[in-house]
Amino acid sequence: MKDDHSSTRACDCRESSPDRPCDAALAAYRRALVEGDLPQDEVPGCLRSLHLVVEDRDSPGFMIPISPETASFAALGPIEEALARQRRNLRSARAALSVFETLYADVHRQEQPALTRLTGHAAISRALDAAVGSCHEELRTAQPGGGRPSHVLGEALPRDLRTLQRGVRQRTIYQHTVRTHPATLSYIEQVVAAGAEIRTLAEVVDRLIICDRDVAFIPFSEEPNTALRVQHPALVRFLVKNFDNAWARSVPVSPDEAPTRSPVITSDLQRTILLAVVNGETDASIARRVGMSRRSVAEHMRRVSAQLGSNSRAQLGYLLATSGLLDP
């Protein structure tokens, strides 16, 4: 008799499911129990694979049923043995890898790459999770682009709360425009309640993440899903100083404040927009710079144009440069 252990199904007919045989198999087993045996050609394959029938030595060509309890030793034994073998292999592989992990750490502790390009969302996420998970003192982040998408905030919130619960100081700089973005404000309220510090600026140059003073992450290029991991002490120190300078110029966010902009923030935003106009930037470029829509940028420019009596963009740039509105 040939036992079929290659199939994961209890029966090979169309009516069976992975964990329940078909009615024909159940009927055949019942008939075998009642009649005492069955002709071999009338025994479904699943009864053979589960070892529920064996050849009748006294009646060649017939098979007799046995109890499921007895069949379980033959049916389940090889599976349990395979699982035990896999567990032994797992322990052996884990032990061997730990030796190589020690060797790897020893070598890279002495000579670690100062700059590493990361490509792809998965690679960047793994590197960030490892760095943030190893952060012990302070996490500094700068987030450009105004309000962040809800799904991004949903992924970031549990990770940031875990970091704060470990006693890590977390400081984040956003752009002023997040103060009217409900999803980002909700996220800010929760992390501030857990101990985070949030401030805003009119302009955040680019995304930045610094873990302690050991490693930093910055965009590698304009291409999406590319990042640069920085581990050179001098470069990380430079990025820390830039962050701290921006932090000193930023405005704290109070979780219980109304979602409006104060005169200081409104003036800061308007000054940044008008300076960009004087420098000849387009509406789209200015919108990206301050993290707001092109329509909002155009509305700012319309108001100032009406105030100065400007009839063209070129004239507006000249009047702004000579009016004193942009003086410190």
pLDDT at 234: 92
- Within-domain flag for 219: yes
Question: What order do you get walking across the sheet with 53-55 strand by strand?
Answer: 38-39, 62-65, 53-55
205 and 267 in one domain?
Answer: no
Strand partners, 249: none
143 and 212 in one domain?
Answer: yes
| Biggest CA-to-CA distance, the chain | 114
Q: Report the run of H or E that residue 142 belongs to, with start and end.
A: strand 138-142
CA dist 60 and 215 (Å) reads: 76
Q: Please state whether beta strands 38-39 and 62-65 pair in parallel, antiparallel, or not at all (unpaired).
A: antiparallel
Enumerate residues 6+ apart whose C-beta is below 8 A from 47: 25, 28, 29, 32, 53, 65
- Which two three-digit tokens encode residue 184? 């980002």
- Within-domain flag for 127: yes
286 and 213 in one domain?
Answer: no
Mind listing the pLDDT tens digit for each residue in 298-313?
777 777 777 777 777 7
pLDDT at 209: 95
Question: Which CATH number belongs to the domain containing residue 173 in this structure?
Answer: 3.30.870.10
pLDDT at 325: 64
- Within-domain flag for 98: no
Q: Please state whether beta strands 53-55 and 62-65 pair in parallel, antiparallel, or not at all (unpaired).
A: antiparallel
268 and 163 in one domain?
Answer: no
pLDDT at 141: 94
Which of 252, 285, 311 is the last residue before a domain boundary? Answer: 252
270 and 234 in one domain?
Answer: no
- Within-domain flag for 60: no
- Within-domain flag for 90: no
Counted residue by residue, the chain has a size of: 328
238 and 282 in one domain?
Answer: no
pLDDT in tens, the chain (328 residues): 334 444 434 455 555 566 677 788 888 888 888 888 889 888 888 888 888 888 888 888 899 888 888 888 888 888 888 999 999 999 999 998 888 888 887 876 666 678 899 999 889 989 998 999 889 999 999 988 777 888 888 888 888 999 999 999 999 999 888 888 888 888 999 999 999 999 988 887 788 999 999 999 999 987 778 999 999 999 999 999 999 999 998 888 876 654 455 555 567 777 777 777 777 788 787 777 777 778 877 777 777 777 777 777 777 776 777 766 666 6
Contact 277, 313 (CB under 8 A): yes
248 and 119 in one domain?
Answer: yes
- Within-domain flag for 31: no
Pick the closest to residue 146 from 328, 294, 304 (CA basis): 294
Mind listing the pLDDT tens digit for each residue in 204-240?
778 899 999 999 999 998 777 899 999 999 999 999 9
pLDDT at 165: 93
Phi, psi of 309 (to 5 degrees): 75, 35
CA dist 217 and 303 (Å) reads: 39
pLDDT at 150: 84
Strand partners, 184: none
Contact 141, 258 (CB under 8 A): no
Question: Which CATH number belongs to the domain containing residue 290 in this structure?
Answer: 1.10.10.10
Q: Which residues constitute the domain of residue 283?
A: 263-323
SS3 275: helix
pLDDT at 208: 94
Contact 205, 231 (CB under 8 A): no
Phi, psi of 129 (to 5 degrees): -60, -40
CA dist 128 and 131 (Å) reads: 5
- Within-domain flag for 169: yes
- Within-domain flag for 81: no
231 and 119 in one domain?
Answer: yes
Number of domains forming the structure of the chain: 2
pLDDT at 238: 95
Predicted structure pTM score:
0.55
244 and 122 in one domain?
Answer: yes
